Structure 1
């Protein structure tokens, strides 16, 4: 956990003396890491490191600096490591327990980057008069959309259909004539009535489940921790152990966190367990899948196709073996959209922090009120 001390004229500490506020980060998620660097940036090298997060897009340096107006190092920003002295806790996946709230008497705001409330003791926050904000992330919504995009592209054989039209398969036609499927594509399908298996039902997984149900899909999920029955009913999902999910799903979509384990989540055994002709979509991390085993399963026809936005090696080398397969859709790790959109999320977080330091309610994503 890392904290930042911020001297702010709108905040008076419980212990009197110098008015100091501390913003603590409960987990070192890559976005939160960038936000922490943004708050503490002083040198040109610091600012360059923050700007590099947004590559290949070019961020406006002035816009970047304006995001932290009122939270400048000149206002007293220093690296700290005293979470119990925090005025604001910022997290993405960390937990805010009753014990942490009780041991943080100066706390005014719990700020989550993400719409889920899991892991935050909302009752304890109310009891301690702590505001809670959970901000929905547009980038996660776009990732969910991209997963659905890859499913549709595979089911409808979009890349091959597009290429065959472009090269003129089928010869010349007659104006006004109808020639259904003139390129002779086979194996065409869709999503309605098919079973989707989501591996990792975090925030992105939930967003995918919502969208998949709108397409008429049945949704299964495998997760380290099973959701409460009420939440499963709300999302319209059914829990399965991973091994069972793989045997039932027509489409498997990966949304588990990237693992540091040597063995991938889906190796030869797991891929062999998938239904014949099933589709695999990965918008999480490339290392979750054994690409050698996946390639063999695709070439041998045991799997119907794969949609990969993330890859074991990024960038994927030109002429890579997967590029020659008609049943594979490849995108260059773009599911989350432009990194510049993260600036909008940062602006909302910083605005909430300013209000917290001024003793006011957060205007964005408020879940629990102190009053």
Structure 2
């Protein structure tokens, strides 16, 4: 256990808690900045992170109670120096644990213990927490929302009602009075998931509930029994693109700056297929995507992330009827980051006082 520290004032150097960061993530960045904020300018910059939303300044400051610089909590320059280690996608293996003799607590953002050697953590007396992230669940929901909006032609239907468009006689019941064509659903369609990480798996679970068939590609594979439960088949990306009615992107980034979905990949997709992107705007060659949509080669696209943000109102994609655009909101409110950081800090406070993490604790044995 980490030696308890005094609740306030300046802690002795020998009992300082050092917090290390293993990789980059916007939530981890916010945690780092909160831990180190000192001046009014620092706090103002922190508030700017949430723009255009506006956080309550008192909430920002209260989050750090008991884990600020005056409480003996500092940010470590390397994992070897830290007593607490925060990560999103990094690896905590035996070698790292052996080279970090002061480490007592590992906090991962995400519900799964991917990349953490729990056996070695137990042997080294290191506690572990893996925090479920509501923002990932919301992103998965949003991906399904975009799929449904496209197959149900939701934007066109909404505009038709508002414009008073009618193709039939008024009555008590007038099914499809706007005369819309091309209406469909998700049941029985094949979904291709590019990247079955945490969000991709959440999408797969929800798509399965809609009766969709699942294909996926990527380095991350769930256990065999989980794949069987979902009916998910792992294939090379080319086969996923060729076999899917809808392709949903959930990869973490692009290789060497090149889009993951370029002209060749779009040409490999089924005629009339849909493309959903709630991951990264840079994953898609937007020139190639626009050409395929404008020519009717693809049936539609749902984009929450964009090559350049904000997307201007006169952008060419805005003129297409087979595209649903949302302003990078799949993960929910930016202010929700405060809840995630708050749980991280709750855990640090508990562990530094000699207790166990209160959120997302992983049982590593004794």
Greater CA drift, 60-69 or 44-53: 44-53
Distance 1:370 1:39, change over 3 A: farther
Q: Give the deviation of 1:129 after TM superposition.
A: 2.3
Q: Do 1:129 and 1:369's aligned partners in 2 also have CA atoms closer than 8 Å? A: no
Aligned to 1:113: 109
SS in 2 for 1:261: helix
Q: Give the deviation of 1:79 after TM superposition.
A: 3.9
Query: Residue 137 of structure 2 is aligned with which of 131, 141, 144?
Result: 141
Aligned to 1:3: none
Q: How does 1:51-90 map to 2 (within 5 A)?
A: 51-90=47-86
Aligned to 1:264: 259
2:179 aligned with 1:184, yes or no?
yes
Q: Give the deviation of 1:226 after TM superposition.
A: 4.1
Q: Give the deviation of 1:156 after TM superposition.
A: 0.6
Query: Residue 240 of structure 1 is aligned with which of 235, 257, 282?
Result: 235
Q: How does 1:117-196 map to 2 (within 5 A)?
A: 117-170=113-166, 173-176=169-172, 178-196=173-191
SS in 1 for 2:257: coil
2:343 aligned with 1:353, yes or no?
no
> What RMSD in Å do the two structures reach over aligned CA positions?
2.0
Flag as ranges the 4+ runs of structure 1 deviating above 6 A.
none
Q: How does 1:20-99 map to 2 (within 5 A)?
A: 20-99=16-95
SS in 1 for 2:191: strand
Q: Give the deviation of 1:324 after TM superposition.
A: 1.2
Matched residues in 1 for 2:193 and 2:44: separation? 38
Matched residues in 2 for 1:182 and 1:278: separation? 27
Q: TM-score, normalised by structure 1?
A: 0.92
Gaps of 5+ in 2: none
Q: Give the deviation of 1:236 after TM superposition.
A: 3.8
Matched residues in 1 for 2:309 and 2:166: separation? 37
Distance 1:172 1:272, change over 3 A: closer
Q: TM-score, normalised by structure 2?
A: 0.93
Q: Give the deviation of 1:368 after TM superposition.
A: 2.2
Q: Give the deviation of 1:85 after TM superposition.
A: 2.8
Distance 1:337 1:21, change over 3 A: same
Gaps of 5+ in 1: 1-5
Q: Do 2:19 and 2:74's aligned partners in 1 also have CA atoms closer than 8 Å? A: no
Matched residues in 2 for 1:349 and 1:282: separation? 29
Aligned to 1:336: 331
